[in-house]
């Protein structure tokens, strides 16, 4: 059974984001800082996946929970995954429509991740990019975690990328600690590292992004996210 009040809250929050045009302003890929965050995350993720033995991706079945417009999932196709093996789920209808429009070769489903429409052990990789930091209800977070564990094959992995600290500029986001991540996926082998320059700072670098992003993001307390792989026994 879904956590109805939290579902309603999330839908309202993302409607507010859309009305305020965050996709074209605050989160725009045209911003050099946002692009630097994306490039760093995806570059490091490729290294981690290769090191963990998940490359080549051709035969891997991959699910992106909270897929948004499908950009993260599409990156796996660019890295060699077959489009018929790539699936995305999101709670927000407009985001699913955008994903289907932008990436018609991939499969996107509207749905609540508290009840994923897939069989047990169906996926080799399940990705969660900034998902759990937006779920403020612990009951819903626990249910989503259990569903991810259910659909993930033994030896498969959760790809985690999310805020590790609370955002003072967004009351709808709550940072997730290492301890809480491990609690969502008990028994999983967890390998996490800090990454990503604080987004409000990164977005202000402008023309100096190529000079300043790397040295600033090397400062540990300026890194806002955890990136890593959690392997299912």
The confidence score (pLDDT) of residue 21 equals 72
SS3 127: strand
Cβ neighbours of residue 80 closer than 8 Å, sequence gap 6 or more: 55, 56, 57, 58
Side-chain half-sphere exposure of 56, counting CA atoms within 13 A: 6
**Average pLDDT per 10 consecutive residues for the chain, totaling 233 residues:** 84 83 73 97 97 97 97 97 98 95 97 97 98 95 98 98 87 93 98 97 97 97 98 98
The confidence score (pLDDT) of residue 22 equals 62
Tell me if 195 sits within 8 A of 226, measured CB to CB. Answer: yes
The confidence score (pLDDT) of residue 92 equals 94
The confidence score (pLDDT) of residue 71 equals 96
Q: What angle do CA 231, 45, 116 make, to 5 degrees?
A: 55
- DSSP states of 38-70: HHHHHHHHHHHHHHTT----TT--EEEET-TTS
The confidence score (pLDDT) of residue 213 equals 98
Distances (CA, A) of 95 to 17, 78, 125, 168: 12, 21, 21, 26
Token pair, residue 54, equals 């998940």
Token pair, residue 195, equals 């990454």
Burial label, 161 (beta-carbon count in 10 A; 0-12, 13-18, 19+): buried
The confidence score (pLDDT) of residue 4 equals 86
Domains and CATH numbers, the chain: 4-231 (3.40.50.150)
């Amino acid at each position: 059974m879904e956590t109805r009040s939290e579902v309603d809250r999330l839908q309202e929050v993302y409607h507010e984001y859309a009305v305020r045009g965050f996709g074209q302003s605050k989160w725009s890929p045209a911003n050099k800082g946002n692009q630097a965050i994306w490039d760093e995350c995806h570059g490091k993720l490729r290294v981690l996946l290769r090191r963990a033995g998940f490359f080549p991706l051709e035969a891997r079945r991959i699910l992106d929970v909270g897929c948004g417009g499908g950009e993260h999932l599409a990156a796996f196709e660019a890295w060699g995954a077959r489009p018929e093996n790539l699936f995305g789920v999101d709670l927000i209808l407009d985001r699913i429509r955008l994903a289907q429009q932008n990436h018609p070769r991939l499969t996107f489903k509207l749905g609540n991740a508290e009840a994923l429409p897939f069989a047990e052990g169906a996926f080799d990789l399940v990705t969660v990019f900034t998902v759990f930091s937006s779920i403020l209800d612990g009951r819903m977070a626990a249910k989503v975690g259990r569903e991810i564990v259910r659909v993930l094959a033994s030896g498969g992995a959760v790809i985690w990328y999310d805020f590790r600290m609370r955002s003072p500029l967004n009351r709808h986001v709550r940072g997730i600690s290492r301890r809480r991540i491990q609690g969502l996926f008990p028994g999983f082998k967890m390998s996490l590292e800090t990454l990503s320059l604080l987004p409000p700072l990164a977005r202000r670098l402008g023309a100096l992004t190529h000079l300043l992003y790397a040295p600033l993001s090397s400062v540990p307390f300026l890194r806002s996210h955890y990136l890593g792989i959690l392997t299912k026994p």
